[in-house]
A = this chain, B = another copy of it.
Amino acid sequence: MIKGFKFVSTPYIEFGAGTLRNLWNIIPKFGNRLLLVIGKNSLIKSGKLGEIIKNLEKKQLNYSYISISKEPTPEIIDNIVVEFKKSSLNLIVGIGGGSVIDGGKAISAMLTKEDSIRNYLEGVGTKLHDGRKIPYIAIPTTSGTGSETTKNAVISETGPNGFKKSLRHDNFIPNIAIIDPELMLSCPSSVTAACGMDAFTQLLESYVSSISSPITDALAFNGMTYMKDNILLACTNGASDINVRTYMAYGSLISGITLANAGLGIIHGLASSIGGFFEIPHGVVCGTLLYEATKMNIEKLKHNKSEGIKYLKKYAKVGSLFLDSTLEISNDKLETNLNSLLDKLKNWTNKLNINRLRNYSIKEKDLNRIIEKTSMKNNPIELGTENIRKILLSRL
């Protein structure tokens, strides 16, 4: 039986090495006043910003650009919106990592409003956004959040009352996503590692999500198939191999589509609460928890006689990707395949030197308030406070 499902629109997507150059022909369709949102330095270092500006000027387009150098806060977004409110912009183009893509998305949505983004954030404000926005083109330079295809922008504020929450509306899916793996060639290996672990986590969590559908299952599994051999390579001697970067970019793109439609699990639940209290890169939280949380999910699912086997078979099918074996999981192969998955996730965590939580000043005494603020999202099974604590302790 297929349960009913919703599938939100995808952006119009241009994917492949060199596709950035399509931007010059796309922009004029939206108008001639655009705001470019970029990151702190990767575009400048790689020389791409110069190329972009040269082309905007050749087309006689009226552009401004601003930089978002960290995960966007309400203040960052509000200040930019005030600055550009009267510019009658026709288009926002975000080129950068997840913070930039989310920042651009939030700016495009808030330029139609008169008050703070804070009022519209889930679980923070009380207002519902009506979805009106300035058209938005997203161009990722990392293979990480998949934000180029999602309907939400994550906004954080760290501190004792911190949060990491979404501005969300179906209309906030970017109008166009351009995924050009050439832009990722200069991404440093620590960022590539954290982003890659985030993208794989998104694929895995949406694949075993309690609200997944046949369409998200097909896509998530496909995304993992392309990423599985490239995560380590992209961080080591494959970093300048355009094919490796292309496979990573593809996995990340797909992870955005699947998370937008199937949701995520406990790892992203924890990333949200931890990211509210501490300044820790989103990809690092996901990467550091991926193995331990998956192990816990599998353990708990083994004790669930009714629904457990359905999800265990899905985890096992992912495990089969790392074995030279059939994708059909018989009962006697289940354990082998599950171990194959766990071994691989552990291996990635070690090989990629994913930081522990303590590297970001997170201590045992912080765990209670983290757990209290953590949602299970669409995790395949309820874990309970003590098991969540065990996951965190093992990566402290």
Query: What residues of chain A have their CB less than 8 Å away from a CB belonging to chain B?
Result: 1-19, 170, 213-215, 217-219, 221-222, 226, 243, 246-247, 250, 254, 326-328
Contact = CB atoms under 8 A, between A and B. Distances in A.
Contacts of A19: 4
Which of A3, A17, A214, A250 has the largest number of chain B CB atoms within 10 A? A214
A13 B7 contact: yes
A214 B250 contact: yes
Contact of A13 (B6, B247, B254, B327): B6
Contacts of A243: 1-2
Q: How many chain copies?
A: 2
A250 B218 contact: no
A2 B213 CA distance: 25
A16 B1 contact: no
Chain A binding surface SS class:
mixed
B4 A12 contact: no
Contacts of A14: 4, 6
Contact of A12 (B6, B226, B246, B328): B6
Pairs of residues from A and B, 9 with the lowest C-beta to C-beta distance, nearest first: A4-B16, A218-B222, A7-B13, A326-B326, A218-B218, A10-B10, A9-B12, A2-B246, A9-B9
B214 A226 contact: yes
A260 to B, nearest CB: 11
Contacts of A18: 4
A213 B219 CA distance: 12
A11 to B, nearest CB: 6
A17 B3 CA distance: 9
Contacts of A16: 2-5
Contact of A9 (B11, B219, B226, B327): B11
A123 to B, nearest CB: 24
Contact of A326 (B2, B9, B170, B327): B327
A277 to B, nearest CB: 35
A219 B3 CA distance: 18
Nearest to A327: B327
Contacts of A218: 218-219, 221-222
Contacts of A214: 222, 226, 250
Contacts of A1: 243, 246
